[in-house]
């Protein structure tokens, strides 16, 4: 039984997108698993796609009035044309008024508005058409209006969505279709309604696969774009973005944000004595050691050659200092000669240091890192006045601070 289960799960996992690492798979299921940067990029992409969709519909919706004009009587055509113009105006407003903000809540709202417009148009036009006697040709055109829910369901495929988001949106569309059926209860053609409903479920399945595949590509691309190829941690470009994002998040609640500027000590001598390869291994070993000791909300990024930034949101200066002392005293890894690897660390905190911009936070931590270097290295400096510095418990501490 267990062997069968293992074989089956192996088979199933081979169906998952190969561009993702195994640890990234949960990101296809739930948006909560996404990093800040991925959420931001996804939110921008969703809003851009909403605007594209809105543009297409703003053009196509009024154009169909030409067909309506040829098949429907004058009063019916005028009513439909008015609804079409209203829908066109609503799509155009979405197109011009929405701008990518990077916030997922805005992206969800944009999708909701985009889908609400055709749904309202569908209900209004259906109500109007129901009150009229239609000839064979105009009845055929009127039936075309019933395809709108299918177009909306298929439209979900253009967004990079998680399975949970897909399920929620598809369920809403299925409920809307169910309500439409309930409203036409007395005249409902059951076999054709059930067939249509089943078709909608099939389209929802295909759509979920399409939008999750897009999401998988996006996760892989974002990973490649934001990771430092040598160490696999965040690179400098994404670091600046993350610093701004974290700053904006804590700024709203006037929360704490600690930043440590970490510079490895005497790194050049490793390269000079043992070669560049050994230097690379030491860097990788350092980031692995440090990453294993961090909280999941902390972000470690490579700022330059042997310089790193550690961002600790919702952490005050004392907490951050304690965390760093603990990390340093447990060791940052080894130099190729077996001696402990040490670092000079400058620590600054947004509230404690009364800092007003992310750049200022970075500069303050950088200045304190230089202070740590000039004080003898292998220490954490968290103040600008030397007498209030705190010593680390690091094994190879060279000077008190
Ligand atoms: N192996 C390796 N070395 C690198 C990499 N990036 C930068 N470096 C080296 O890191 C060294 C940094 O040297 P310095 O800036 O003099 O700093 P240091 O020797 O650590 O001295 P202090 O910071 O004053 O303690 C240089 O020799 C760079 O070539 C890298 O990706 N791999």
SS (HEC) of 261-322: EEEECCHHHHHHHHCHHHHHHHHHHHHHHHHHHCCCCCEEEEEECCEEEEEEECCCHHHHHH
User: Cα(166) to centroid of ligand 1, in Å?
Assistant: 48
Answer whether 266 contacts ligand 1 (Cβ < 6 A).
Answer: yes
User: Cα(259) to centroid of ligand 1, in Å?
Assistant: 21
User: Which domains can be identified in the chain, with CATH numbers?
Assistant: 20-225 (no CATH), 236-388 (3.30.70.270)
In the prediction, which pLDDT does 132 show?
77
Interval 39-57: pLDDT, tens: 999 999 999 999 999 999 9
In the prediction, which pLDDT does 19 show?
81
Ligand 1, atom 28: closest residue by C-alpha: 268
Interval 20-30: pLDDT, tens: 888 888 999 99
Ligand 1, atom 12: closest residue by C-alpha: 268
Interval 119-131: pLDDT, tens: 888 888 878 887 7
Ligand 1, atom 6: closest residue by C-alpha: 305
The band of 157, judged by pLDDT with boundaries at 50, 70 and 90, is: very high
Q: What is the mean pLDDT of the chain?
A: 88
In the prediction, which pLDDT does 117 show?
93
Ligand 1, atom 7: closest residue by C-alpha: 305
Cα dihedral 185, 191, 196, 200, rounded to 10, equals 100
Q: Which of 31-35, 83-87, 259-263, 365-369 has the lowest mean pLDDT?
A: 31-35
Given the CA of residue 282, which atom of ligand 1 is nearest to it? 1
In the prediction, which pLDDT does 325 show?
94
Query: Which of 351 and 388 is assigned the larger pLDDT?
Result: 351
User: Cα(230) to centroid of ligand 1, in Å?
Assistant: 14
Interval 286-334: pLDDT, tens: 999 999 999 988 999 999 999 999 999 999 999 999 999 999 999 999 9
Measure the CA–CA gap between 156 and 354, rounded to whole angstroms.
Answer: 46
Ligand 1, atom 18: closest residue by C-alpha: 266
Residues of the chain with pLDDT > 70: what percent?
Answer: 94
Answer whether 236 contacts ligand 1 (Cβ < 6 A).
Answer: no
Strongest mean pLDDT among 35-39, 174-178, 224-228, 378-382: 378-382
In the prediction, which pLDDT does 189 show?
79
Answer whether 307 contacts ligand 1 (Cβ < 6 A).
Answer: no
Given the CA of residue 276, which atom of ligand 1 is nearest to it? 1
Among candidate residues 209, 168, 221, 210, the one with its CA nearest the CA of residue 37: 221
> What is the predicted ipTM?
0.95
Could you tell me the pTM of the whole model?
0.73
b/e burial code for range 77-92 (CB count within 10 A of at least 16 → b): bebbbebbeebbebbe
């Amino acid at each position: 039984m267990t062997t069968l289960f293992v074989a089956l799960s192996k088979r199933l996992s081979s169906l998952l997108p190969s561009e993702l690492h195994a640890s990234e798979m949960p990101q296809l299921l739930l948006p909560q698993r996404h990093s800040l940067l991925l959420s931001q990029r996804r939110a921008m992409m969703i809003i851009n796609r909403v605007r594209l969709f809105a543009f297409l519909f703003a053009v196509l919706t009024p154009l169909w009035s030409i067909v309506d004009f040829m098949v429907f009587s004058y009063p019916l055509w005028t009513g439909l044309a008015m609804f079409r113009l209203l829908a066109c105006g609503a799509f155009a407003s979405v197109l011009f008024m929405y701008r990518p903000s990077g916030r997922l809540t805005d992206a969800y709202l944009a999708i909701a508005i985009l889908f609400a417009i055709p749904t309202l148009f569908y209900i209004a036009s259906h109500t109007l058409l129901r009150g009229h006697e239609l000839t064979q040709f105009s009845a055929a055109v009127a039936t075309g209006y019933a395809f709108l829910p299918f177009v909306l369901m298929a439209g979900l495929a253009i967004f990079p969505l998680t399975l949970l988001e897909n399920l929620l949106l598809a369920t809403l569309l299925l409920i809307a279709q169910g309500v439409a059926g309930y409203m036409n209860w007395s005249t409902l053609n059951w076999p054709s309604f059930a067939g249509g409903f089943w078709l909608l479920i099939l389209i929802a399945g295909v759509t979920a696969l399409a939008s999750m595949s897009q999401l998988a590509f996006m996760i892989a691309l974002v990973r490649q774009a934001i990771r430092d190829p040598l160490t696999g941690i965040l690179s400098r470009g994404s670091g600046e973005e993350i610093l701004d994002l974290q700053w904006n998040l804590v700024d709203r609640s006037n929360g704490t944000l600690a930043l440590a500027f970490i510079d490895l000590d005497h790194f050049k001598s490793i390269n000079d004595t043992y070669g560049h390869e050994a230097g690379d291994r030491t860097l990788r070993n350092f980031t692995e050691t440090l990453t294993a000791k961090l909280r999941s909300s902390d972000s470690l990024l490579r700022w330059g050659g042997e310089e790193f930034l550690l961002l600790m949101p919702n952490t005050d200066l004392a907490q951050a200092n304690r965390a760093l002392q603990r990390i340093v005293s447990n060791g940052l890894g080894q130099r190729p000669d077996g001696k402990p690897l040490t670092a000079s660390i400058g620590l600054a905190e947004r509230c404690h240091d009364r800092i007003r911009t992310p750049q200022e936070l970075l500069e303050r931590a950088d200045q304190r890192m230089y202070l740590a270097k000039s004080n003898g290295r292998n220490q954490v400096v968290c103040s600008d006045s030397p007498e209030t510095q705190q010593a680390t418990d690091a094994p190879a501490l060279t000077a008190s601070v």
